[in-house]
Structure 1
Amino acid sequence: MKKILIILIAVISITLVAFFGWYLFLRDPDIPAGETIRNILPFGSGGDVASRPTTNNSQPTTDLTEPVDEFGNPTATLFRLSNTPVAGAVVLDRGNQTIVRYVDRATGHIYDTDLETLEKTKVTNNTLPKIYEAYFRPDGNAVLLRSLKDNSDVIENLSLTLTPPKATVSTSSPQASTLYAVSSTALRGDISAVVAGSGNTLIYVLRDNSSIVSSTFNGTGAKTLLTSPFTDWRLNTAGNSLIAYTKASADAPGYAYALNTSNGVLTKILGPLNGLTTTQNSLGNRILYSYVEDNKMRSFTKNLTSSALSEISPTTLAEKCIWSIKKAGILFCAAPADAPGALEPDLWYRGATHFSDRIWLFDTNTDIARVLAEPKQSLRIDIDVFEPKLSPDEDYLIFINKTDLSLWALRLEAF
C-alpha cells in the first residue's frame, strides 16, 4: 500500500513539473492558458459556440439594422436565402413586399422569404420527403412536386393547391395562422419535361403516349398540343410563347421549334446544332441559344422577325439566362469564368462539372455587356447559377446554386 502511494505521488509530481515547464517555456504566450487547454479537448468548449437562429413559422432572421441573411452574412447586393437544398422557387409581389416562395427539397415544406427584411415564414407543414423538382404557378398558390417513388426510378407527380389562411389568429396555436390549407392531386402518366405556363396552365411531355399536353395545375382540362414519335422533348415558355427543343447533347444535333398551342403546328427555328439549348423572351420574337461548334460552346441571340444574330460574350449556357420583360433586348445571364468545354452541357447535366459564374447584363440592342456580380471575388465562393428568375418589378434576380442547391438573390439596380 505504501509503495502504491509513493508511486502515485511521484506521478503527480512529474505531471506538475511537466505542466509548469510547458507553461513557462513552451506554450504560445499570446494565447491564454485556459483557451489552449480547452482547444486540446476533443470537442472544444460549448460555451463559445455562437447561437444559430431557429426557424419558427414567422421570424426575422436578424435583429441587426443592416440586412443579413439567415446565417448572419451581410447581404450587400448578393445574398443567400436558404442554405438547405431547394427544389424550386417563384417570386411574388404582395402589396409593397417582394416575396420568394420555395420548396425545401428534404421535407417538401414551403416557405416565404421577404427579400427586403429577410423575414422567413413557413407556408406549409406537410412533410413530403425528397422532392427533386418543384414548378410553381405564377401566383405561387399551386405547385407541382416531383419525387422518386420508394427510391426507384419511377417519378411521382403531385400537384398541390394552397389556400391562404384566414385572418383570425388562434389563441391556442398562434403559429398556425401562417399555414396555408393544402389539397393535393396526383397527376398520372409518365411525365418527363415540365414547364409552368401563364395563368393556371401546366405544360408537360407524356412519354407513355408520345405527346405534349397542357392542363390546369390539378390536371383537369387536359389538351393534347402535339403527338409525335419523338418523346425526349424539352420545353421552354415565357408569356404565351412555347418552344419545344430536343434534349441537348454535345454529341448529337439538336433542333428547336415554335409550337403553336392552338393547332399543334411545329415551326423549326434552329438546328441542326450540337448541344442546343434555348430560352426565349416573353413576346416570342427573340431567342437566346447556345450550342457546341468545333469543340467550343457559343451563344447567340436571334431576332425571329428579322433573323438578325448577335453573339453573346462571354459564352454561356442558355439555361443560365433570362430575358427582361420590362425592357426589350435585355438579358440577365450567369457566365462561367472559364469557358464551358466541348463535352458540355452533358457533363453539367450529370453533375460531373460545376462552374464558377459571374452574373452579367447583356444589352442586345447595343451589344454592351456589364458585370453585375462576381461571387468568387466578393464572397469567395463558387456559384453555379441554375433556374434564374426575375421578380415582377425586375429589381431582384433569384436563382439556385447548382453546386449545393441553395437559393440566392441578387438585388438589381435600375437598368
Structure 2
Amino acid sequence: MKIDRQALLFGGIVLAVVCLVAAMVWFASLFQTSSPEDRTPVPVQDFFSSLFPFGNSTRPNVVSPNGEDTGPDGPVPQLRRVSDKPVAGFRFKSDGVLRYGERETGHMFEARTDAFPIVRISNSTLPGIHNIVWISDTTFVLQYLDENDTTRHYVASLASSTPDQFLSGRFFTGASDLSPTGSEGEVYALTRAATGLSVERASLETPQRASIFSSTLSSWKLLPTEKELFIETSPSSASGLLYRLSGGQLEKIAEGPGLMALPHPKGNFIAYSGTLGAEPALFVRDLATQETRRMPVATFAEKCTWFPFEAPLLLCAVPAEQVQLEAWYMGLFSTNDVFWLIDPITERTTLVKKLEEAGGTAIDVTAPAVSPDGRYAGFINKRDLTLWVLRLGP
C-alpha cells in the first residue's frame, strides 16, 4: 500500500502540535496560582539555611517589631549563643533571666536561660555603648565615648520586662569610671587626673559625695564586693599590687607580675592570678586565715567567676594553649577555652565543658558570671563580643 507523502507530512505536523500543547499545559500546571490560604511563605533566613544546613544550629534569633523573639523551636542546647551582635555587658537578674545591652544601638534585651525567646525591652537608641555598669537588676549605667573621646555615663532604669520601653535617665558627671557599691542609689566614682586618682562614694540621686581614697598613681582599678572594696593596679606584665581598703587604710593582699584579682562576693576569699615564667598561675587566699593556695589550673582571674554561694567555688575558663597576658589583654591573641569547676579548699577540679567542641567555634571567655541558682553561666566571647550561656546543672 502506497502512503501519500503529503498526508504523512500533515499527520506529523498535527502530532507535533498536539504534543507541544500537552507539554505547555503540563508545564503551566507546575506554576499554577494557589489561593492565599494554601500559600506558605518561606522566610528569607530559611532559604539561606537550606543552602547552608550546617548553620542551622546557630541560626540567629529574630526579634519581631513588637520586641518579641521568633527564634528556633526545639530543645535548648547546653551551650548556646544568645546574641548575634556584640554586647556591652550582661547581668543575671534575681529570677535568672539574662538582661543585656547591645553595643551598636544601646538597646536592652532579656533572654530566658531555658528557652529561645528574646525580648527587646527598650527601643531608645544610644549608639557606641562600650560598657554597662550594673547597679542592680533594674538600674544600670551605659558608658560610651563622646566626640572628645571622654567617657560619658548615662544612668538608666528599666523596672519591668515590657517590650520596647522608652529608656529614660540622666547623665552622671565628674567621674572617669563608676563601680557598684551594693547599694541601689550609690556608686563608687573614680576620677583620674594628672595629679593622680581619687575615689568617692557618690549618690546617684543627689550631688552628695564622700571621699574614701586618693593616690598619686592613676592606674588603679576598683574591685567592689558586697561589704568591702579592693583595688589593684591595671593588669600588665609588670609587677602589680592588690590592696583591701578598710577604714581608709590600705592592706596589701598580693604583689607580683601580671597581677589580676577576683574577690569573692562576700569578701572572705580572693582569687588572683600572676605570671610564673611563661604561663599564668591562679591562687586563692582565705582572708580569714591568710592561707594561700595555688590552684591546679593555668588561667587568668578575669576568666573566672565565683558561684554566688557562701562556700567558695570557682568556675574558670582555661586556655588550651600557652598565652601571654599583655598580648591577650590588648587583643593581639585569642584563646580557645575549656571550662573547669574548682573547689579552692580541696583543690579538686572537674571538667565542665570543652567550648569549641560544644559550640562549634573557638571561644575566648571574658566576663563570666553564674546565675543566682548556680545552674547557668553566662559569658562574652572576646573574639566577637557575642553573649553565650552554658547550662551547668540539670
TM-score (norm 2): 0.80
Residue in structure 1 matching 2:350, options 347, 351, 370: 370
On the 8 A contact 1:143/1:160 being kept in 2, the answer is yes
Match of 1:55 in 2: 63
Match of 2:187 in 1: 202
Residue in structure 2 matching 1:280, options 245, 263, 287: 263
On the 8 A contact 2:339/2:352 being kept in 1, the answer is yes
Partner Cα separation in structure 1 for residue 243 and residue 222 of structure 2:
10
Partner Cα separation in structure 2 for residue 216 and residue 361 of structure 1:
38
On the 8 A contact 1:289/1:300 being kept in 2, the answer is yes
> Is structure 2 residue 75 aligned with structure 1 residue 78?
no
Inter-CA distance 244–64: structure 2 relative to 1 (3 Å threshold): same
Residue in structure 1 matching 2:131, options 130, 133, 146: 133
Secondary structure at 1:82 match in 2: coil
On the 8 A contact 2:82/2:388 being kept in 1, the answer is yes
Gaps of 5+ in 1: 1-44, 68-74, 166-176
Report the Cα offset of residue 368 of structure 1: 0.7
Report the Cα offset of residue 294 of structure 1: 2.7
On the 8 A contact 2:63/2:69 being kept in 1, the answer is no
Match of 1:145 in 2: 142
On the 8 A contact 2:106/2:126 being kept in 1, the answer is yes
Secondary structure at 2:309 match in 1: coil
Structure 1, 129-138 or 307-316: larger mean CA deviation? 307-316
Please give the residue correspondences for 1:165-184 in structure 2 after superposition, counting only pairs within 5 Å: 178-184=163-169
Match of 1:330 in 2: 313
On the 8 A contact 2:61/2:69 being kept in 1, the answer is no
Match of 1:243 in 2: 230
Inter-CA distance 221–292: structure 2 relative to 1 (3 Å threshold): same
Report the Cα offset of residue 53 of structure 1: 5.2
On the 8 A contact 1:316/1:340 being kept in 2, the answer is no
The code of the aligned residue for 2:99 comes to R
Q: Which has the larger radius of gyration?
A: 2
Please give the residue correspondences for 1:290-309 in structure 2 after superposition, counting only pairs within 5 Å: 290-309=273-292
Inter-CA distance 188–330: structure 2 relative to 1 (3 Å threshold): same
The code of the aligned residue for 2:141 comes to L
Secondary structure at 1:376 match in 2: helix
Partner Cα separation in structure 1 for residue 107 and residue 253 of structure 2:
40
Partner Cα separation in structure 1 for residue 242 and residue 294 of structure 2:
18
Gaps of 5+ in 2: 1-43, 51-59
Residue in structure 2 matching 1:264, options 241, 245, 248: 248
Match of 1:11 in 2: none
On the 8 A contact 1:78/1:410 being kept in 2, the answer is yes
On the 8 A contact 2:273/2:283 being kept in 1, the answer is yes
On the 8 A contact 2:67/2:121 being kept in 1, the answer is no
Residues 281-332 of structure 1, C-alpha deviations (whole Å, 9 max, x = no match): 1221211111123333211111122222221222111011111232512111
On the 8 A contact 1:163/1:182 being kept in 2, the answer is no
The code of the aligned residue for 1:266 comes to L
Inter-CA distance 47–255: structure 2 relative to 1 (3 Å threshold): closer
Residues 65-100 of structure 1, C-alpha deviations (whole Å, 9 max, x = no match): 322xxxxxxx2x111110100001111134xxx211
Structure 1, 203-212 or 404-413: larger mean CA deviation? 203-212
- What is the RMSD of the two structures over their aligned residues, measured on CA atoms? 2.3
On the 8 A contact 1:316/1:339 being kept in 2, the answer is no
Inter-CA distance 223–182: structure 2 relative to 1 (3 Å threshold): farther
Inter-CA distance 211–123: structure 2 relative to 1 (3 Å threshold): same
Residues 352-385 of structure 1, C-alpha deviations (whole Å, 9 max, x = no match): 1111110110011211101111012223311111
Residues 207-256 of structure 1, C-alpha deviations (whole Å, 9 max, x = no match): 13721122244574332221221221111123222210111210x21111
Give the fraction of aligned pairs with identical amino acids, expressed as a percent: 27
Report the Cα offset of residue 64 of structure 1: 2.5
Secondary structure at 2:85 match in 1: coil
Secondary structure at 2:352 match in 1: strand
TM-score (norm 1): 0.76
The code of the aligned residue for 1:89 comes to F
Secondary structure at 2:94 match in 1: strand
On the 8 A contact 1:196/1:237 being kept in 2, the answer is yes
Inter-CA distance 264–411: structure 2 relative to 1 (3 Å threshold): same
